[in-house]
Amino acid sequence: MSKFFDKLKEIRLVRAIVYAIVGSAFYPRLTLYNKLKIEGTEHLKNLPKKNVLFVSNHQTYFAEVITFLLIFCAVKWRKQNGLGVPYY
């Protein structure tokens, strides 16, 4: 079963669908309810492709992973210090 999920993770369409589902579920909460403030996204484009560790300064565990996902997608679409309209 592990090999099946490894193959599934490599398919770009599957990842895009998962990102869209998760992002659309949490985007309103992070932008409307929590008033998310993002700074420093210009530094993300200069990072290496591998071996980068992101650490949060608080203990929310789940929300920060979703937030990082939304921020990375926003940076991919050249959004600076904000989420903008969610494209995945």
pLDDT score recorded for residue 61? 65
Where in the chain are the domains? 2-76
Task: Give dist(CA 2, CA 64) in Å, integer.
Answer: 26
pLDDT score recorded for residue 26? 77
Q: What is the chain's pLDDT, residue by residue, as a tens digit (88 residues)?
A: 678 878 877 888 888 888 788 777 777 777 777 777 788 888 888 888 889 888 777 666 667 777 777 788 788 777 777 776 666 5
Q: Are 63 and 7 in contact (CB under 8 A)?
A: no
pLDDT score recorded for residue 59? 65
On the CB side of 68, CA atoms within 13 Å amount to: 12
